């Protein structure tokens, strides 16, 4: 696909901007032609792999021809919607609803009008945003799992409670709905009660004057690049999240801290509660009422100083954070965008070539595409069994469509049906599916069936046919170890660390191998 991203300011270090740029890189690595357009210079804090162009505005003459054009903020969505058919299907990538921000009160009518623009497809990154768009605007959106960088955000050794306690507070004080002022008030109460602690502040803006008169020590970290945030979190005893309402779409620092093994104290607001997907997720944080400094102060002392609570929060937080992987996120985003693009624009071959859908009837083609889109939505909602049924029906409508067979294999694997996944891989392979992806799914299915030697062969074939990533090398190392090839396993773990020195799994696996 040809994909265009519209960003007002690509050089400003905000969570939503970071995720959009990382997504642009990920889609580029997956073989798509990706261009980021921005009114600003490119970011200095990360390396862009895709094309970047600075533009004076987002008028259609400044946009490349494409299949998808993505607006990431309410001000860019109208440009995507009005770009014209040659520029691509307009998509709104919603990481937060701007209309609830008190700072935008005077603009709310305009923001709501943007959300009601016809013809725009919507992607959301959390269940609370999906619900907001449905309830307020009657919009159906494709929800995709969000992402954190596990190469940066991985757990350090379990910390004993520090004296003084290190309490993390992340974000710009100037944004009222993030309510860092209540966090400061909670710290003042804890300090007055005799708790020894240091407030460890990370912000991408200059400290506000209201932050300068704290009666307790404050350790400042300004404009930390994303690659250093993992070290920041691992230095903490507890992270405090203070957002006061539905304005917060996701708040990456909460899950990033969990991935680093840090206990969290979070306000009881929709975005923080949306991380729960089952009873095993409790308690992944100590939840406190928003704008309640006394409750926050008490929770900080408990989460920071009570050993059993700290261990329970750490374990549950790591389970929650493990869901937010780059591969899962990129695959779901790619599938959502493919679902928005008509078959002719997505690069599908015409009937009879053996590479694309051989569906002559346009009604059946539309139904097949609808089933695939529904399957992606179900996968994002962790319902792989229902998704498999949709994909099986779609495969019957388009028997030569290799991509549908491959996605069916992935869905069956997530259902625990490894044998079914293996059969679907064979069908996808026979229809010319992408070799690297097919080998990877086949390897995972063989591994699940206990056929580790064959799994190792499949993962080796995937590395030969596709990009050599740290995850792929680590995965191969695991099955080689289980197959008894310790030398090969060591080589694979070492290659993973050469590609990504901060890869936590590869580091742990190599250390475990040394003691085997």
pLDDT at 106 (0 to 100): 86
Closest CA to 123 of 97, 142, 139: 142
CA 201 to chain centre: 24
Tell me, what's the pLDDT at 324? 82
What residue ranges in 185-290 does DSSP mark as E strands? 197-203, 218-222, 238-241, 264-267, 286-288
Backbone CA torsion sign across 174, 177, 180, 186:
positive
Give the chain's mean pLDDT: 85
Spatial separation of the C-alpha atoms in residues 241 and 229, rounded to whole Å: 16
Which residue ranges make up each domain of the chain? 2-143, 165-321, 434-516
CA distance 332 to 339: 10
**Statement: residue 360 has pLDDT above 60:** no
Q: Looking at the predicted structure, is the pLDDT value of residue 480 above 80? A: yes
Integer distance in angstroms from the first to the last C-alpha of the chain?
46
* Per-residue pLDDT at 351: 33
**Which residue, among 247, 260, 245, has the nearest Cα to 290 in the 3D structure?**
245
| pLDDT attached to residue 363 | 55
**Structure confidence at residue 198 (pLDDT):** 93
Whether the CA torsion 70, 72, 74, 79 is positive or negative: it is: negative
Segment 3-28 mean pLDDT: 87
Residue 351 CA, distance from chain mean position: 35
Buried b (16+ CB within 10 A) or exposed e, 291-324: ebbebbbbbbbbbbbeeebbebbbebbbebbebb
Q: Over pLDDT 70: what percentage of the chain?
A: 93
C-alpha distance from residue 296 to each of 140, 181, 219, 473 (Å): 36, 12, 20, 43
Residue 4: pLDDT over 90: yes
Q: Which pLDDT belongs to residue 51?
A: 94
Q: Residue 359: its pLDDT value, please? A: 32
pLDDT, position 281: 55
pLDDT band at 346 (very low <50, low <70, confident <90, very high): very low
Asked whether this chain's domains 2-143 and 165-321 adopt the same fold, the reply is: yes
Among the residue ranges 230-234, 321-325, 384-388, 412-416, the one predicted with the least confidence is 321-325
Tens digit of each residue's pLDDT (9 = 90 or more) over 144-200: 887 788 888 999 888 877 678 999 999 888 888 889 999 999 999 999 988 888 999
Judged by DSSP in three states, 197 sits in strand
Reported as a single tens digit per residue, the pLDDT across 30-50 is 899 999 999 999 988 788 999
- Residue among 286, 280, 236 at smallest CA distance from 266: 286
Query: Residue 398 and residue 490: Cα distance in Å, rounded?
Result: 43
Percentage of the chain modeled with pLDDT above 90: 32
Query: How many Cβ atoms sit within 10 Å of the Cβ of residue 344?
Result: 10
Q: What confidence tens digit (pLDDT) does each residue in 71-87 have?
A: 998 899 999 998 888 89
Which tokens in the block code for residue 491?
């080589």
What was the pLDDT predicted at 221?
92
pLDDT in tens, 289-317: 999 999 999 999 888 888 888 889 999 89
What is the pLDDT, as a whole number, of residue 201? 94
- pLDDT score at 439: 87
> What is 2-143's CATH superfamily?
Glycogen Phosphorylase B; (3.40.50.2000)
Which pLDDT belongs to residue 282?
65
DSSP calls for 72-119 = -STTTHHHHHTS-GGG-EEEEEESS-GGG-GGGGGGHHHHHHHHT-TT
Average of per-residue pLDDT across 427-452? 83
Around 93, how many Cα atoms within 13 Å sit in the side-chain half-sphere? 28
Name the residue with tokens 């309510």. Answer: 179
Is a pLDDT exceeding 50 seen at residue 352? no
From the candidate CATH numbers 3.40.1010.10, 3.30.1360.170, 3.30.2350.10, 3.40.50.2000, the one assigned to the domain spanning 165-321:
3.40.50.2000
Task: Check if the beta carbon of residue 289 is closer than 8 Å to that of residue 295.
Answer: yes
Question: 3-state DSSP call for residue 212?
Answer: coil
- Predicted local distance difference test score (pLDDT) of residue 350: 33
pLDDT at 345: 45
Q: If DSSP codes are grouped into helix, strand and coil, which group holds residue 2?
A: strand
Structure confidence by residue, pLDDT tens digits, 233-274: 999 999 999 988 777 777 888 999 999 999 999 999 888 888
Q: Counting Cβ atoms within 10 Å, is residue 215 exposed (0-12), middle (13-18) or buried (19+)?
A: exposed
**What pLDDT shows up at residue 27?**
93
Alpha-carbon distance of 12 to 179, in angstroms, equals 21
pTM: predicted TM-score of the whole model, two decimal places: 0.57
Q: pLDDT grade, residue 280 (50/70/90)?
A: low
Neighbours of 61 (CB within 10 A): 6
Q: Reply yes or no on whether the pLDDT at 358 is more than 80.
A: no
User: Residue 41 has what DSSP assignment?
Assistant: P
Sheet with 238-241: list strands edge to edge: 218-222, 197-203, 165-170, 238-241, 264-267, 286-288
What are the residues whose beta carbons fall under 8 Å from the beta carbon of 366, sequence distance 6 or more?
none
- Cβ 39 vs Cβ 11: under 8 Å: no
CATH topology of domain 434-516: 1.25.40
């Amino acid at each position: 696909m040809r994909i265009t991203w519209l960003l007002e300011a690509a050089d400003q270090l905000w969570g939503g901007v970071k995720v959009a740029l990382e997504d642009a890189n990920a889609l580029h690595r997956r073989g798509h032609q990706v261009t980021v357009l921005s009114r600003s210079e490119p970011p200095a804090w990360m390396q862009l792999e895709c094309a970047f162009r600075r533009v004076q505005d987002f008028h259609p003459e400044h946009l490349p021809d494409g299949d998808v054009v993505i607006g990431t903020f309410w001000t860019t969505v109208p440009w995507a919607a009005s770009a014209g058919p040659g520029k691509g299907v307009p998509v709104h990538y919603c990481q937060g609803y701007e209309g609830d921000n008190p700072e935008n009160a005077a603009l709310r009518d305009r923001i709501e009008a943007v959300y009601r623009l016809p013809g725009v497809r919507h992607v959301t990154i959390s269940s609370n945003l999906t619900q907001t768009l449905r309830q307020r605007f009657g919009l159906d959106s494709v929800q995709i799992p969000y992402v954190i960088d596990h190469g940066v955000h991985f757990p350090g050794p379990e910390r004993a409670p520090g004296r003084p306690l290190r309490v993390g507070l992340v974000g710009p004080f100037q944004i009222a709905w993030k309510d860092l002022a209540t966090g400061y008030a909670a710290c003042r109460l804890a300090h007055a009660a005799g708790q020894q602690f240091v407030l460890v502040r990370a912000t991408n803006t200059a400290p506000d004057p209201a932050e300068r008169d704290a009666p307790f020590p404050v350790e400042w970290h300004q404009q930390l690049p994303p690659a250093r945030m993992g070290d920041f979190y691992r230095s903490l005893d507890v992270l405090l999240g203070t957002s006061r309402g539905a304005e917060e779409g996701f708040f990456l620092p909460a899950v990033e801290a969990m991935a680093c093994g840090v206990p969290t104290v979070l306000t009881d607001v929709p975005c923080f509660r949306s991380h729960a997907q089952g009873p095993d997720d409790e308690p992944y944080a100590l939840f406190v009422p928003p704008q309640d400094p006394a409750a926050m102060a008490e929770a900080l002392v408990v989460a920071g100083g009570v050993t059993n609570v700290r261990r329970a929060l750490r374990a549950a937080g790591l389970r929650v954070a493990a869901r937010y992987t780059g591969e899962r996120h990129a695959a779901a985003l790619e599938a959502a965008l493919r679902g928005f693009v008509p078959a002719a624009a997505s690069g599908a071959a015409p009937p009879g070539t053996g590479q694309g859908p051989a569906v002559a009837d346009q009604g059946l083609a539309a139904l097949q595409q609808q089933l695939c889109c529904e399957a992606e939505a179900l996968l994002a909602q962790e319902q792989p069994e229902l998704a498999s049924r949709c994909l099986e029906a779609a495969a019957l409508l388009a028997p030569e469509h290799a991509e549908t067979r491959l996605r069916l294999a992935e869905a069956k694997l997530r259902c625990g049906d490894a044998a079914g996944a293996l059969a679907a891989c064979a069908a996808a392979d026979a229809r010319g599916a992408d070799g690297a992806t097919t080998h990877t799914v086949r390897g995972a299915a063989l591994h699940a069936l206990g056929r580790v030697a064959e799994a190792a062969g499949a993962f080796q074939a995937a590395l030969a046919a596709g990009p050599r990533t740290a995850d792929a090398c680590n995965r191969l190392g695991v099955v080689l170890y289980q197959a008894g090839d310790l030398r090969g396993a060591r080589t694979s773990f070492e290659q993973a660390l050469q590609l990504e020195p901060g890869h936590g799994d590869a580091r742990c696996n190599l250390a475990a191998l040394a003691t085997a």
